[in-house]
């Protein structure tokens, strides 16, 4: 009996020792998302391309320009990789970063509690607020309560926080969801809607780029909108790198320089 126990013990000891010495038994260190981006030499950006001057699609929607795009290019340059831009609908961006179709999302994306349950956010790199573009002075200066009581039709970008804000906070307003900024401008211009509700940088760009339409806008502080970079929640190394990048970008004046370029 004792001899059998000794044989079993010796066999187990040999097996354990062999496993410990066998390199195949040691799990390989998994590459992080950031390391795979650097190794591949590409950073894939997801952006909506429909919120100038933050992100505006060009070349038939195959690429984009704007504050967000310049920020993404600076990120890619600092990583030492090429920037690949994928323009897609705003309401598809969160899914795209979670399923790995894109590495990051920079698209004037407001950090909301609901979105934050699905993705991690780095930032904010800029803060904004809602405003409306209209041709009616009384509407431009209206409070949230006055705007709600007006029972107007107001254009909003599909899948945006502006659409959510109208649905939740202004039940008296009829939201008209559009895919692009140009669609919204056309509706206001042709009096199909009373106004376009969006973020303040977008409002200022619309007024500047359409001087003959006599659009007006007032920064009303209807909401507080912190704008951030969306990253898949498991990519903690990439999140850490990105937060450090934003801290440095702010301290060396990069964000201020981009604001001067795009917001004048």
Q: What is the dihedral of CA 202, 89, 249, 236, to 10 degrees?
A: 150
pLDDT number for residue 25: 54
pLDDT number for residue 22: 52
Residue 188 tokens, joined: 């206001």
Confidence check: pLDDT of 185 > 50 = yes
44-70: per-residue pLDDT in tens?
999 999 888 999 999 988 899 999 999
Q: What is the mean pLDDT of residues 14-28?
A: 49
Percentage, residues of the chain above pLDDT 70: 88
Report the distance separating Cα 49 and Cα 180, nearest Å: 8
Percentage, residues of the chain above pLDDT 90: 57
pLDDT number for residue 253: 94
Ranges 2-6, 72-76, 112-116, 156-160: which has the least confidence: 2-6
pLDDT number for residue 98: 96
Ranges 82-86, 103-107, 134-138, 253-257: which has the least confidence: 134-138
Instruction: Pick 162 or 83 by higher pLDDT.
Output: 83
Ranges 6-10, 127-131, 137-141: which has the least confidence: 6-10
Instruction: Pick 99 or 158 by higher pLDDT.
Output: 99
204-232: per-residue pLDDT in tens?
888 888 889 899 887 665 677 899 999 99
Q: State the average pLDDT for the chain.
A: 86
Report the distance separating Cα 226 and Cα 244, nearest Å: 18
Per-residue confidence band for 13, with pLDDT thresholds at 50, 70 and 90: very low
Report the distance separating Cα 263 and Cα 237, nearest Å: 32
């Amino acid at each position: 009996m004792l001899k059998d126990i000794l044989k079993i013990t010796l066999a187990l000891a040999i097996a354990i020792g062999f496993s410990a010495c066998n390199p195949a038994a040691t799990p390989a260190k998994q590459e992080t998302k950031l390391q795979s981006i650097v190794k591949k030499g590409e950073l894939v950006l997801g952006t909506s391309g429909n919120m100038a001057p933050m992100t505006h699609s060009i070349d038939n929607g195959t690429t984009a320009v704007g504050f967000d795009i310049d920020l993404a290019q600076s990120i890619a340059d600092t990583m030492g990789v090429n920037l690949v831009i994928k323009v897609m609908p705003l309401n598809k961006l969160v899914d795209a970063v979670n399923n790995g179709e894109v590495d990051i999302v920079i698209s004037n994306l407001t950090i909301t509690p609901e979105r934050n349950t699905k993705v991690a956010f780095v930032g904010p790199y800029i803060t904004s607020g809602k405003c409306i573009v209209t041709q009616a002075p009384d509407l431009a200066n209206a409070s949230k309560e006055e705007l709600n009581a007006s029972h107007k039709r107001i254009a909003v970008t599909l899948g945006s926080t502006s659409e959510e804000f109208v649905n939740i906070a202004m039940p008296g307003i009829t939201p008209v969801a559009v895919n692009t900024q140009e669609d919204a401008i056309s509706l206001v211009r042709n009096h199909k809607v009373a106004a376009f509700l969006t973020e303040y940088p977008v409002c200022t760009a619309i007024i500047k780029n359409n001087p003959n339409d006599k659009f007006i806008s007032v920064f009303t502080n209807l909401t507080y909108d912190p704008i951030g970079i969306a990253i898949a929640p498991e990519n903690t190394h990439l999140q850490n790198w990105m937060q450090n990048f934003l801290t440095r970008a702010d301290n060396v004046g990069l964000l201020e320089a981009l604001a001067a370029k795009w917001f004048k």
